[in-house]
Structure formats: structure tokens, C-alpha cells
A = this chain, B = another copy of it.
């Protein structure tokens, strides 16, 4: 292969680094913009007795005020229809949307928000998932069971919106027969995607009632669908133009400010821009689920795992949203990538009085691995087995079927990834150093693929344009271009590829879930192959040869074995336009893909300062099973980014609430890992062409965030013997643990 596998810079990198890219808040139109802002509830749970917007409406400079009254009185939701865009009778989280205002400037908007008088009857709130499950917990949705729900929804009761129990084998016999049984509880708190660009939108509604929405999103078709659903419009009344996006990580797929901006634009007759503050974004967007876990594992003396029982409680927030997708994913991943004959899984999703949790890079992955992979470490130590060997003994292999994820699974490279990371780290050869330790964890992730379409057109000069809705978060666009260039025998620089909006893009899936390249790359590859076929047909006619005897390569098509007897792609394109079939172009679709496992094994070396509990990550090895790396530079970048983001979740991040109000909604108080904090991340790619992916590519964006908290936790234990069961692995908790086990100073 000539283009696939090359380390090429991202196609749009010059615009990005010179500041020319137009992000959400940069969009301007010919006509003046209004400033929009949302009035959020100050209470986590309260009944709305009255909303009086009259004073706000009368304020000079105010052009529109909207509330639930401006929306059709229908509840929406993909799995459970439990949500209205603006709260009507009740607020269920701090920041729950009550009204919105558009005015000529920010000061007027702020003043108008202050003039809106809302009478609340404050109700008791519940933030923690376990507490929400208690019989005496305040009910967040009184009539939850009467909401419409999709067929897969089960076990609704009280605040529980989903409970599913899965049994595989005979769990009780498993534990009876086990030589030893381990049981631990873990907790991972809510963390936020912390994209640098907060949610923002510009909306315009034209005279025919059609909305155009500029938004930095990972999923223009999702946003289109959501807006249409909220307003009960046909999809073609909404155009979503994805701008450049300042980070997404799964957090920019559900609508936040978009419907408010559309409603304000419609009511005012002017374009409206809403830019969320950082605090609003922290408080009301769609962060990662907090998760309580109980892991109970039965093992034989030789390390063979014979039974595992997992209970997971996800705090889904005030609404179901996409919470169930994440729950279902958690069920598939819960056992870890191990052969276990007897399994019991209890999965709970519960309503809680905070933001609706949503997808965040490998949703549920880091939480579960934090529990599962720490427990594996505990077991290895207890049985006096090497943690690598214990994992190798139990890890799944090609063709295995796992309890919840089904199978037979293909392209399974858990063991090779384990060995590669161990070898790279010099596992076992590390000399013992005071307060220093090493931890390993095996990340397990499943990459699907959603239905998508992409197109390819051959231009009159032989260059190639790709028609796609893929949003570029991490180099996907460049990799997609490499795939098309490879098929058509041209260079990447001969291929133009940029993101089209929902009107003009062939329907594309979300640019998330590690599956953008796989889904849209497959569709683009099919389209390029069809274009190649058309090229050969047109050329065959002209060259008086069989299409099958032609080679498409080096921007030419020629008769195999006779390079002189050929045509340039420019000639073919022009020939086809002038005489044959018209322009050479094709749009092709790819169907959904079955889930495919992807593994990442991390080895972390840390140093713990016993006086303070401070952790320093000294060295970090990440091996990942990537299939074919279409662009290894981009693959490594994704893996390094995942690790650094994971280190924040491991060591410092958590959304802290008081009465449902987030106490640390700023980057001063909510500490993410920056490049200054991060160690050098050594990346090792495990490359085997994967079944079904374009040129054998696997999804790569998510797996390497999964094992980070567990690897670091295991390293901390190795360093100072402190076992922490709750994220983040803060200095405070480590110090406390050291004091408890007498090692603290």
C-alpha cells in the first residue's frame, strides 16, 4: 500500500494552527446577531408554580423570550420519552432550562434573565445513584412507568429507569467451586469531557420556517433529528452545519443550546447565537456517568476465573437520554475480556438530580476497568501470581464468545497486546525502588459501526473530491482521504475532503464511538472502488482493452504490462463527461458492523510522595490493538490523547456537587491534565488487519482511555501499598489510606 499506512499530517492542519478555522462561536452572518442565553433552575428539584416573563419581554433590547409554552407539549426521548426541552411543571437539575432570552447584547440578556420571575416549590433532591434507589428517595419522575419506552426498556420502578439482570452459566455453583472469592466495591464519580470549546450555536430561521443551525457537533444528523423531534418538524426543515469543533469526546452529540436558539430565532425573526459559559457547560451538558460497582470474583488457586458477579449502578441524571446505550455497552464489557463460565450481571440505570449523563470517550469503559482491573490485580497479589500471567491465563481469544457481547468474536488480540506492553515496559525486570511502583491494566473495548454513506467524485483534472459528513475530531478526515487515495492510485494531496452539512452530506453516522473511520471509511472505500470501476470502463472503451486488464495507478489508467498504453485520470474524467456516462461519481452506503473487540494494555510507573500523597507518573507505556493503522501518526496521537485524558480522570477529576450544584465548574477547580502535567506516553501499535474494517482498520479513539485509572491505581498500590477504591486517586485519599495502613508519615 502506498498511501494507507503513511504518517501524513492532517489535511486541515494549516488552517487550525494559523487560527483560520471557524469554530462555533466564530460564525458570523451578513445580518446582525442577537445574543441568546438560557435561564436555568437554581434548584436541583422543584415544582414550577409560575413563570412570569412579562418584565423581561418589556425590557428595551429584548427581542424574544421563550419558555416551554413555545414548544409543542410532547415529551421526547429515544428510549424513554421522559424529557421536555424546557421544564414545564418541574425542574430536575440545577440548570434545568426554564426560559431563554435573545437580546441585542449580553448585558441586556443578563438583565432580562434577572427580570424573569419563577415561583418554585423546592423539593428534596437526590444526587447519588445508590441513594436514588432507596425506597424513601424523592421521586424524580412521579409517573416514570407511564412514559412511552422502547421495547428493550425493562425493570422500571421508582427512580430506576432500567434494571436488567443477566445470568450465564451457574453463578452459585461457580462461587461454590471457586478456591477463593473476592468482593470489592468501587466508585467512579461524574467527570466531564472538558472539551476546550463549550457548547455554542448560531441559529437562523428563514421566512419559510426552515432552521439553519451552525454548531460544533460530532453528529450533524443526530442534532438534526433531535431538533426536528423537539419541534415536531420534518427533518428537511432543519439544516445542521457542523463548524470546526474544539473537542467533543462524545459530549457534542446531544442537543443542549440548539433548540433554544432555534426557538428564539423563530420568535425574534433574527439569527441568535448562544455561547455557553464554562460553568453552564459543566453543570448542564452530558458528562460521564458516575458509577457504583460491586465486583465479586471466584478464582481457582492457579488463577483461573470461574465466576464473576457484577452490580453496576449508573446515575443517569434527570433524564434517560442516551443512558441506555451506555448501560448496554457496560453490560457487554462488565466481565472484562476474560473467559468466565459463570456470570451474573445486575445493571441499574437510575434517575438522579443532575445533568443527563451521556457518551464520553469509551462510555462506561474506564469506570468498569477501574473496578475489574484493580480486582484482577488484587487477586494476582493474593494468589502470588504475576498480574500479566493471570491475565494471559484468562484472556479471551479469537473466536471466543463472551457472555454479554456475544460472538464468536473476531480479530481478538488481547494476549499479543498484553505481551507487547509487558515487553516494552521490561515487565518483571524493574528493580524495587522506594515509593515507586508499576501497575498494569488490560483495557477492553468493543467497536461497532453504524450505517453510513460517503461519495467520491472524479474531477475534470483527475483530482478527487470526497462527499462525506464525517466530522474531524482526530484526523478521521485525513485517514478517509488516505483510503480513497489508496483505492484510486493517487496521492493524498490529490484528494479533497472536508465535512459537508446535513443538507449536502450523504447520511453519515456520528463521528464518535471509534467507528467513524470504520463506518464512513468503508462507505468511502466502496464509493472509490465504484469510481475506479467507472474509470476502467470508460478507459477500456477508449483504449480498446478489457476493463479487467487495466491498472489504475499513479494518476493514470493503463493496460497491465504496457504503461504507455493508457490515459491520465483527467483524460478519463473529461472523456466520460463529453461522451460517455457523464461525470464519474458514486455514493455508496455501508451497513452497521458487528462489535469487534479492541484491546489496550497500559503499564504505568509512578512515584508517590508519602508525606503528601502526591502521585507523579514517571513513565507510561500504552500498547493498543489497532488493526491496520491507516495513519500511524494519527493513531499514536489518539492513543496519547486518550492516556492523558485518562490520567486526569485517574488522578484529579471529579464533578463535586452540593445540593445538586456543582462546586467546581471551572478549570481552576476542576483539574484536567495538561501537556505540562503529562508524562511522555510511549505508544506501541499491535497491527493486524481487522475483519471488516477498511483496509483492516479498527476503531482507535476510545480503547486507550479505558485502562488508565486502573493502571495508575495498581501502580500506586505497588508503590506504597495503598489501595484506593474510589476515583480520583487524589493525594488526600492516598494519604488517608497510608495513614490507615500505618504507612503514612
A residues in contact (CB < 8 Å) with B: 12, 14-15, 17-18, 20, 22, 26-30, 206-208, 225, 228, 234-236, 450-453, 455, 457, 459-461, 463-465, 467, 494-496, 498, 500, 503-507, 523, 576-587, 589-592
Docked pose: A283 CA to B503 CA in angstroms: 39
Q: Across the interface, which residues of B come within 8 angstroms of A207, CB to CB?
A: 14-15, 17-18, 20
Docked pose: A461 CA to B234 CA in angstroms: 7
Docked pose: A276 CA to B683 CA in angstroms: 57
Copies held by the complex:
2
Question: Of all chain B residues, which has the CB nearest A455?
Answer: B587
Contact between chains at B577 and A451 (CB < 8 Å): yes
Q: Across the interface, which residues of B come within 8 angstroms of A14, CB to CB?
A: 206-208
Contact between chains at B452 and A455 (CB < 8 Å): no
Partner of A587 from the list B208, B236, B465, B586 (CB cut-off 8 Å) is B586
Q: Across the interface, which residues of B come within 8 angstroms of A457, CB to CB?
A: 453, 506-507
Q: Across the interface, which residues of B come within 8 angstroms of A523, CB to CB?
A: 582
Contact between chains at B453 and A582 (CB < 8 Å): yes
Contact between chains at B582 and A451 (CB < 8 Å): yes
Query: A455-B455, A579-B592 are contacts. A500–B494 as well, Cβ < 8 Å?
Result: no
Query: A15-B206, A30-B27 are contacts. A452–B583 as well, Cβ < 8 Å?
Result: yes
Docked pose: A392 CA to B307 CA in angstroms: 96
Docked pose: A452 CA to B583 CA in angstroms: 6
Min distance, Cβ A386 to any Cβ of chain B, angstroms: 45
Q: Across the interface, which residues of B come within 8 angstroms of A494, CB to CB?
A: 234, 236
Q: Across the interface, which residues of B come within 8 angstroms of A27, CB to CB?
A: 30
Docked pose: A220 CA to B27 CA in angstroms: 24
Listed residue (A206, A496, A576) with the most chain B CB atoms within 10 angstroms of its CB = A496
If A28-B29, A451-B583 are given as contacts, then 12 extra A-B residue pairs at C-beta distance below 8 Å, sorted by A number, are A15-B207, A236-B495, A452-B582, A453-B582, A453-B585, A455-B455, A500-B500, A523-B582, A578-B592, A580-B591, A581-B589, A581-B591
Docked pose: A133 CA to B584 CA in angstroms: 43
Contact between chains at A236 and B496 (CB < 8 Å): yes
Question: Of all chain B residues, which has the CB nearest A459?
Answer: B235
Query: A451-B583, A461-B228, A579-B592 are contacts. A496–B503 as well, Cβ < 8 Å?
Result: yes
Min distance, Cβ A480 to any Cβ of chain B, angstroms: 15
Q: Across the interface, which residues of B come within 8 angstroms of A461, CB to CB?
A: 228, 234-235
Docked pose: A505 CA to B504 CA in angstroms: 7
Contact between chains at B578 and A451 (CB < 8 Å): yes
Min distance, Cβ A69 to any Cβ of chain B, angstroms: 25
Q: Across the interface, which residues of B come within 8 angstroms of A208, CB to CB?
A: 12, 14-15
Q: Across the interface, which residues of B come within 8 angstroms of A463, CB to CB?
A: 234-236
| 20 A-B contacts (beta carbon < 8 Å) | A14-B208, A26-B30, A28-B29, A235-B463, A236-B464, A452-B582, A453-B583, A453-B585, A457-B507, A500-B504, A504-B504, A506-B583, A507-B577, A507-B583, A582-B589, A582-B590, A582-B591, A583-B589, A584-B589, A585-B589
Question: Of all chain B residues, which has the CB nearest A506?
Answer: B585
Contact between chains at A467 and B591 (CB < 8 Å): no
Q: Across the interface, which residues of B come within 8 angstroms of A503, CB to CB?
A: 465, 496, 498, 500
Docked pose: A680 CA to B116 CA in angstroms: 57
Q: Across the interface, which residues of B come within 8 angstroms of A18, CB to CB?
A: 207
Docked pose: A664 CA to B235 CA in angstroms: 51
Pick the 5 closest A-B CB pairs, nearest first.
A582-B589, A236-B496, A507-B583, A14-B207, A451-B582
Min distance, Cβ A402 to any Cβ of chain B, angstroms: 23
Listed residue (A235, A580, A590) with the most chain B CB atoms within 10 angstroms of its CB = A235
Q: Across the interface, which residues of B come within 8 angstroms of A587, CB to CB?
A: 455, 467, 585-587
Contact between chains at B30 and A22 (CB < 8 Å): yes
Docked pose: A14 CA to B237 CA in angstroms: 14
Min distance, Cβ A201 to any Cβ of chain B, angstroms: 15
Min distance, Cβ A581 to any Cβ of chain B, angstroms: 5
Docked pose: A20 CA to B211 CA in angstroms: 13
